[in-house]
Structure 1
């Protein structure tokens, strides 16, 4: 389920970023994130768990401070025992925004899954705290998380690997580095399993700023590919053998550049 709705409160933004977001010349995405977090009054908690580089958290701390954030805290969660740390939970409860870095999304799910840290992130998002994630951090915001799969255009029966994500939003499946790594086939494979899902393919340096009404605006230098299978007329997935190419009839695809919008609930796109 998505972050639970709390009467009288608006859910915070959920902001998946396609990875390789611009950090120096025109950091449009990160600047907007800092502004949403409160600017000079922002308290941003960085979760560098997906990365195996020791300085990832420190680099984002410095970056957000340079962009005008009032305070940035990196939580060094490297093992499941760290995700049980009450001090880290208390720090999350004071923040106005959370940023989950890139790396390996299975590190995120296996280290954070079911822990007080993951539960707290969901709870504070429901109370209005914004949660952004880049690359692996983008993949885990959805309930169904892509962990690997084929490259190319044509979907196949075994074209994608899925694992449970954090579930901040449960009606989409997110892929990142989308155009740069030619990942259309695995997103098509993912939505073919169940047309309930909307596929969101994020190019690098591109983000979906998803508001409390499940409508998002595209921000960044690339595009977002939307795969909407709601009106699909036929899928060969159930009869396909391992490795077979799939037949999918009447899929809807949108390509949305900066400034375009999409409503996930109504499945409407706006230029």
Structure 2
């Protein structure tokens, strides 16, 4: 798929006015507001924030207004897509935007509303054709991006064959699955289970205050203070994922794991990884204070 636009998928709890970032105190390479600064190349570029996933959009609007003002963004608006009556007014705003950003909440809400809306096709068209256009999402807003999403899943001590439900996503990311708050909420099992059921796809487990910036549909660079865990079942030798009986645990041999930190890159087509050059890292926290 020839993609000209960019995706920015964020693991949740990114640095903003109402979040406490644990890595801020312990990671010398923490850079304030690093991820959200990526939303626009120019402070004047139009950013449209879609709050559909949230049950409390007013709180998010207040938080992002404060944070965007700290960054210096001056051209942004908020949309809570809820039905056909919204489409005409929102479509033009999306067409004129440089960035569309999905907030957190419930990924199923985003897919339920957007898959029925012509806004989805406008987003996909701009993403495919416009080099300076970005679609971004945090938490549930990132989880909705692939063709297949995790709708419901258990975080148990074992992967059980019937503890996972998947659904249809927005289809902007065709070669991977996404899970968020990955380390903090112990979600390895559920993403591994989903990957084993979809072995042609990579599983992207995004840590908090951590993102992948994806260009050309396949070149992903890690940004932020945490890590991204990539799970691959492409070389699995043995697994009972398709044959396990009801309530039986799932096993797998040769499941592969990659760990990415700020600056590391991963190719979602051929599976190659490029490590960050740590010798060039600076103490961002001291630099920005």
TM-score (norm 1): 0.90
Cα deviation digits, residues 214-257 of structure 1 (max 9, x gap): 11111111110100111111221121012211121111101111
Residue 96 of structure 1 pairs with residue 102 of structure 2: no
Rate the CA distance shift 1:153–1:170 in 2: closer, same or farther, 3 A. Answer: farther
Write the deviation string for residues 121-171 of structure 1: whole angstroms up to 9, x where unpaired: 111111231011000001001111112212146433123221100010111
Residue 149 (structure 2) pairs with residue 145 (structure 1): yes
Task: Confirm whether residue 242 of structure 1 aligns to residue 246 of structure 2.
Answer: yes
Match of 1:109 in 2: 111
1:13 aligns to what?
A: 6
Give the 5 Å matches for 1:122-133: 122-128=124-130, 129-133=133-137
Which structure has the larger Rg over C-alpha atoms? 2
- Provide the aligned length of Structure 1 versus Structure 2: 259
CA distance in 1, matches of 2:229, 2:158: 15
Q: What's 2:164 paired with? A: 160
Q: Does 1:269 align with 2:273?
A: yes
Alignment partner of 1:49 is 2:42: no
- Between stretches 158-167 and 62-71, larger displacement belongs to 62-71
**Distance change >3 Å, CA 82–CA 232, structure 1 → 2:** farther
- Alpha carbons 2:84, 2:117 under 8 Å: kept: no
The alignment partner of 2:67 has SS state of helix
- Cα distance 1:103–1:213, how it changes in 2: closer, same or farther (>3 A)? closer
Counterpart-to-counterpart distance in 2, 1:223 and 1:193? 24
User: Aligned partners of 1:228 and 1:153: how far apart in 2?
Assistant: 20
Tell me, in whole angstroms, the C-alpha distance in 1 between the residues paired with 2:136 and 2:157. 28
Q: 2:36 aligns with which of 5, 21, 30?
A: 30
Structure-2 change in CA distance of 1:104 and 1:82 (3 Å): farther
**2:226 corresponds to which of 214, 222, 229:** 222
- Structure 1 unaligned regions, length at least 5: none
How far is the alpha carbon of 1:38 from its aligned partner?
A: 2.5
Q: What residue is the counterpart of 2:42 in the other structure? A: 39
Structure 1 residue 32, shift from structure 2 partner: 2.2
The question of whether the paired residues in 2 share the 8 Å contact of 1:100 and 1:137 is answered with yes
Residue pair 1:12, 1:212 contacting (<8 A) in 2 also: yes
* Secondary structure at 2:155 match in 1: coil
Q: Unaligned regions of 5+ residues in structure 2, if any?
A: 18-23, 25-31, 276-289
Is the aligned partner of 1:198 residue 2:191? no
1:95-127 deviations in whole A, cap 9, x for unaligned?
A: 001100000111111111131112211111112
**Residues 204 and 229 in structure 2, CA contact (< 8 A), matched pair in contact too:** yes
Q: Distance in 2 between matches of 1:93 and 1:82?
A: 17
CA distance in structure 2 between the partners assigned to 1:168 and 1:213 by the alignment = 8
Classify the secondary structure of the residue corresponding to 1:241. coil
Q: Which moved more, 1:206-215 or 1:19-28?
A: 19-28
TM (normalized to structure 2)?
0.85
